[in-house]
Structure 1
Amino acid sequence: MAEYTLNTPLTDEDITPLKAGDVVFINGTIYTARDAAHKRLMDLIDKGEATPFELKGSIVYYVGPSPAPPGRPIGAAGPTTSYRMDTYAPRLHALGQKASIGKGKRSEEVKAALKEHKAVYFGATGGAGALLSKCITAAKVIAFDELGPEAIRELTVEKFPLLVINDCHGGELYAVPDRKAAGLED
């Protein structure tokens, strides 16, 4: 396992060396979007309208942050379960999104899209939202304010810690080993 520091937006050259299990620190701009925001993004794309942020090279964090306490740009910002965005992720990767951040496993369709479009799925530590928020230096709503915590936000991050869960080569940190080969079954 290796350790990388990457700056946004991401490129194929950033993504290609990453392997499942690598530690990555992100600097720059990432965007938040959960279920409702993803549906709205798809509606815009289907109508041929502009998206609220440039998809090419982007990282989307599946998070609904809590309100910002005094003196902070954002409240707790822990990841939500990613499979709820699996319906939308392959299309967004085809349009240039380079990474997503969440928790939990992804569908076979998402894994195939990561390989096809040189993209990656990062895991953020669930239950560590308050700690993760300390890596967020700025936050502003850029679309769908009426969705509250699920609005799309632009976040500025510094040394945002992540693990590569699914890489663009088909590697997966959550892969279950061959139980028989591992001596776990007769």
Structure 2
Amino acid sequence: MKKRIKLPITKDIADQLKIGDYVYLSGEMYVARDAAHKRIIECIENNEELPIQLMNETIYYMGPSPARDKQVIGSAGPTTSSRMDKYATTLMDLGLKGMVGKGKRSQEVLESIVKNHAVYFAAIGGEGALLSKKIVKSQVIAYDDLGAEAIRRIEVEDFPVIVVADNQGGNLYEEAVKKYMR
């Protein structure tokens, strides 16, 4: 099923999404990878103010390339999500509702998605140049010293993703394998 969603993602929106849904996201979300996630967790552990508000937010696991002339951002493909698994449950407990990346997630993350009424989307790897055209604004908002791993706020229009883990316990990676193993 195809759905269009205006960000941010709320519990009610996440509860309506099912594995296999094709979704087009529009609105603002954050970009953060390993190094930024590590710093966010350090802020939490040290009772420091977080650089971003997490309630109902979505994080895209991406390391953008530099923008060329008249571009908002360079290639903007997803990175492997499992590298953020050690941080994701803590962020979902603080209100994070959406994650966009590629690849499988740990059982702990899948359980946290259910517990926190969140959702995990996959963006298509290898299509970074095409995905970058769906990003209409990009601004570094924290950890500029991390370069491509700095936290960015991006605005997207009809950004294409697929629900691969829903908060009813569905996991498209497992279901697809079962379907084709018959």
Instruction: Give the TM-score of the pair, scaled to structure 2.
Output: 0.96
**1:54 Cα shift?**
1.2
5 Å-filtered alignment, 1:16-165, equals 16-165=15-164
In the alignment, structure 1 segments of 5+ residues that lack a partner are: none
Structure-2 change in CA distance of 1:14 and 1:178 (3 Å): closer
Bigger CA drift: 44-53 or 106-115?
44-53
In the alignment, structure 2 segments of 5+ residues that lack a partner are: none
Instruction: Report the Cα distance in structure 1 between the residues aligned to 2:97 and 2:30, rounded to whole angstroms.
Output: 12
Instruction: Report the Cα distance in structure 2 between the residues aligned to 1:84 and 1:138, rounded to whole angstroms.
Output: 26
Q: Name which one, 1 or 2, has greater alpha-carbon Rg.
A: 1
Across the aligned residues of Structure 1 and Structure 2, the Cα RMSD in angstroms comes to 1.2
1:110 partner amino acid: V
**1:144 Cα shift?**
0.5
1:33 partner amino acid: A
Instruction: Give the fraction of aligned pairs with identical amino acids, expressed as a percent.
Output: 49
3-state SS of paired residue (1:86): helix
Which segments of structure 1 move beyond 2 Å, counting only runs of 4 or more?
A: none
1:126 partner amino acid: G
Instruction: Give the TM-score of the pair, scaled to structure 1.
Output: 0.94
What is the number of equivalent residue pairs in this alignment?
Answer: 180
Deviations 1:49-85 (A, max 9, x none): 2222210010000000000011111000000000000
**1:159 Cα shift?**
0.5
Instruction: Report the Cα distance in structure 2 between the residues aligned to 1:51 and 1:138, rounded to whole angstroms.
Output: 22
Instruction: Report the Cα distance in structure 2 between the residues aligned to 1:33 and 1:42, rounded to whole angstroms.
Output: 12
2:23 partner amino acid: V
Instruction: Report the Cα distance in structure 1 between the residues aligned to 2:11 and 2:34, rounded to whole angstroms.
Output: 26
Instruction: Report the Cα distance in structure 1 between the residues aligned to 2:173 and 2:82, rounded to whole angstroms.
Output: 14
Instruction: Report the Cα distance in structure 1 between the residues aligned to 2:51 and 2:150, rounded to whole angstroms.
Output: 11
Instruction: Report the Cα distance in structure 1 between the residues aligned to 2:180 and 2:70, rounded to whole angstroms.
Output: 50
**1:35 Cα shift?**
0.5
3-state SS of paired residue (2:141): strand
Deviations 1:71-130 (A, max 9, x none): 111000000000000000011011000011000000000000000000010000000000
Deviations 1:124-157 (A, max 9, x none): 0000000000000000100111111000000010
Instruction: Report the Cα distance in structure 1 between the residues aligned to 2:172 and 2:47, rounded to whole angstroms.
Output: 36
